[in-house]
Amino acid sequence: MASTTNKSTSSNNFSHLPKRPLGKVRTDNSLFWSEEYIEGDPIDLWGRVIADWDDCLKKRPKYIKKLVRYNIPQPLRCLLWQLLSGADKQRYLIEGYADLLKETSPHEKTIRRDIDRTYPDHPKFSSPNSPLQESMLNIMKAYSLYDKEVGYCQGNAFIAGLLLLEMPEEEAFAVFVQIMRKYNMRELCKPNMAELAVCMYQLECLIEELLPDLHVHFQAQGFRASVYASSWFLTLFASTVSPDLATRIMDFVLAEGLEFIFRLSLAILSVCNKDLLKLDIEGMIMHFQKELTKYDSITVQVLFDMAFTLKITPKKLKKLEKDYHTRKAKETGDVELMKVSLMKYK
């Protein structure tokens, strides 16, 4: 099923990081670190899991998450992304792909205009008529036909491109569809982007709780999460960080869901907290534009370590989502009330 012929020839910059026996280091956090001790050749460890994937996924999901954090060897990434996203179970997507491409999409012109400028600095994408560009166009077109409600959302091509660095076009399409559906991304990408607003609210609340000083500063400056963090969520960081780092982020998103994007966002803010406190809105935006593109492997390790220890749980996110809708309903209610009283006044 999976072929690795198309995988990136450049070795992943972050794969050389020390493979630490994570289980030993952290025994405190039962949610993430309670599974058995992990050490040894990741290819062997993954080999055993892959051989018995369905059973492992059912019985030892925490162990799988832990293995992802430990390491994903580059040759296994193509297969593991399909397994983790569940795309391997959606054969019909791959089988129906060619038929989708025969149709015409109303978004084709817009997609075409963006394809040249997705990863403009990446040698595999930047050359005109590069096969990967054509594949990226095809995936975006097929998806806009497959999911007409979402159609084409600017930024999605960055995700598709990242998948194409690891796997053939049809498989990349299936994983892309899974990212949109299973990981809730399609809700963020719908034309009104209502769900993105929810994520931004959740992020702002988490900042308030975990980085209260920064929250006060952001409030004073009127610096809203949607200004700096929209692209973090909509492209899963792929438009802001190096492709190597984006690849590792994709590993975690596929294993842990969008929750990881919240974790990483908070970790990034936490690492540059002191710098941000000294800056105004413009300075902060420029800080993000500059810093995120040049993280070295040490900073990345610090960020990931921090991301995984932050107290962010699905339960907490769910509660914040509920809060958002309650507030929203109240606001709309207030507007309705105001309308009613204005009518009376007339």
Partner 1 sequence: MDEVHTTKVVLLGRTGSGKTSLIVRYISSVFSENVKPTIGAAFSKKTVQLIHGEERKQVVLAIWDTAGDERYESMAPLYYRNSSAAIICFDLADRQSYNKVDFWVKELVEKVEQNCKLYICGTKTDLLAEYGGPLKRAVGPTEVMAYAKKLNAKFVETSSKSNYGIDDLFKLVAADFAGFTLCEAPPIEDSLRLQEPNQTDVNEKSSCCF
Q: Which residues bind partner 1 (CB under 8 A)?
A: 110, 113-114, 116-118, 120, 126, 153-155, 189, 191-193, 224, 226-231, 234-235, 239, 281-282, 285-286, 289
- 126/273 with CB nearer partner 1: 126
Alpha-helical runs (H) found in 128-280: 131-146, 156-164, 169-182, 185-189, 194-210, 212-221, 225-234, 243-256, 259-271, 273-277
Residue 300 CA: distances (Å) to CA of 12, 22, 81: 13, 16, 21
The whole-angstrom separation of Cα 338 and Cα 335 is 5
Min CB(117)–partner 1 separation in Å: 4
- Tokens 């450049």 belong to 10
**Which DSSP helix (H) or strand (E) runs through 303?**
helix 297-309
Q: Is 194 helix (H, G, I), strand (E, B) or coil?
A: helix
Min CB(127)–partner 1 separation in Å: 11
Min CB(189)–partner 1 separation in Å: 8
- 65/186 with CB nearer partner 1: 186
Min CB(113)–partner 1 separation in Å: 5
Angle at 192 between CA 188 and CA 197, to 5 degrees: 55
Min CB(32)–partner 1 separation in Å: 30
Angle at 142 between CA 136 and CA 146, to 5 degrees: 145
- Residues listed for the chain: 346
- 77/107 with CB nearer partner 1: 107
Min CB(320)–partner 1 separation in Å: 20
- 34/154 with CB nearer partner 1: 154
The whole-angstrom separation of Cα 307 and Cα 287 is 20
Min CB(197)–partner 1 separation in Å: 8
Question: 87 — phi, psi (to 5°)?
Answer: -65, -25
- 54/280 with CB nearer partner 1: 280
- 227/277 with CB nearer partner 1: 227
- 135/239 with CB nearer partner 1: 239
